[in-house]
Amino acid sequence: MSERDDRDEAGYRASVEAQRADRDARLRDPLSWLSLVGLHWLRPGRQAFGAAASNDILLEAGAGEVPPIAGVLEVVDGRVLVHPGEQAGALGIDGAPVTPGTQLVDDRDGSPTVIELASLRLHVIRRGRDRLALRVRDTAAPALRAFPGIDGFEVDPRWRLRGRLIPAPVGSTVPVPDIVGDVNDEPTPGDVELAIGSTAYRLHALESAPGHLWLVFGDATNGVETYGGGRFLVTGEVQPDGEVEVDFNLAYNPPCVFSPYATCPMVPAGNDLPIRIEAGERVGPAAR
């Protein structure tokens, strides 16, 4: 290897390590997946929430006090309204007290409305065929304090591969199951074809940031060194001729590794690779 090649490889390794360090920092954010402490499916009608055992939704905060009845969520015609409890100012939105009957925007409509309650942050998610749930984060969650950092395979430039996007017809979808039992037809730009060793493989791609692809894939390390439900990867930018970089050193764990209350997509049929991808993030024994 020439001196220039040595410099190029060192620069590449440093780039991957920098991206891993950035992901580590984002996971330590008070509102990361590590802060996710609850998921409560909602039904039509009124559901009280708070610290009292009599509530439909029981809430405890790592910091600050949750009132016995903090409020009521009302689901009507696919909308979710919030009514504060008797303790004035216990619920806030953007630092202001919640007005009775405020409609909560769910995550499917963009940025959801976030309710502040002690150290908790609550918002509504919509999954599958309009199933609604209250997602609960705690900025003082024990998992945030206990997080040991990301474990990963050693960076190996040999897992930085070139693939090619095989476009699908406009409007194509691929069925993607998720961990809560739904199967969602997700838009797909096509398949990524790539060679690993002497064998060619194809993976269904999903949409990611403009110009990039998102791969949800499994491999033979799942359940051993890596999470049993597969991993995620965002590709490089797709070139005009369809060429795309697939860097397995950047493969990362789904949110379900960090919280049992996440609603992760699972590996689509056809995206389980029958080989070991010894690159990217790993997990400890408890998450396998």
Dihedral pair phi/psi, residue 19, rounded to 5°: -65, -35
Instruction: Provide the whole-model pTM.
Output: 0.90
Q: Which of 92, 120, 110 is nearest to 261 (CA)?
A: 120
Question: Which pLDDT value is given to residue 91?
Answer: 97
Question: Which pLDDT value is given to residue 130?
Answer: 84
Q: Which of 8, 23, 6 is nearest to 280 (CA)?
A: 23
d(CA 62, CA 138): 7
Q: Is the dihedral of CA 239, 243, 244, 247 positive or negative?
A: negative
Q: Are 254 and 284 in contact (CB under 8 A)?
A: no
| Exposed / middle / buried, residue 226 (Cβ in 10 Å: 0-12, 13-18, 19+) | buried
Residues in CB range of 143: below 8 A, 6 or more apart: 34, 35, 258, 259
Q: Is the dihedral of CA 275, 179, 106, 39 positive or negative?
A: negative
d(CA 264, CA 142): 22
Cα torsion through 37, 39, 45, 46, rounded to 10: -10
User: In what order do the strands lie in the sheet containing 45-50?
Assistant: 57-58, 45-50, 71-76, 79-84, 102-103
How many CA atoms within 13 Å lie on the side-chain side of 87? 16
pLDDT in tens, the chain (288 residues): 444 555 688 999 999 999 999 999 999 999 999 999 999 999 999 999 999 999 999 999 999 999 999 999 999 999 999 999 999 899 999 999 999 999 999 998 779 999 999 999 999 999 987 899 999 999 999 999 999 999 999 999 999 999 999 999 999 999 999 998 999 999 999 999 999 999 999 999 999 989 999 999 999 999 999 999 999 999 999 999 999 999 999 999 999 999 999 999 999 999 999 999 999 999 965 555
Helix extents (H) in the chain:
3-27, 142-146
Q: 């509530």: which residue's tokens? A: 55
CA 250 to chain CA centroid, Å, is 15
Question: Which pLDDT value is given to residue 116?
Answer: 98
Question: Which pLDDT value is given to residue 6?
Answer: 55
d(CA 28, CA 251): 19
Task: Tell whether domain 33-146 is in CATH 3.30.365.10.
Answer: no
What is the secondary structure of 40-66 as a DSSP string?
EE--SEEEEEESSTTSSEE---SSS--
Looking at the chain, the domain(s) classified CATH 2.60.200.20 span 33-146
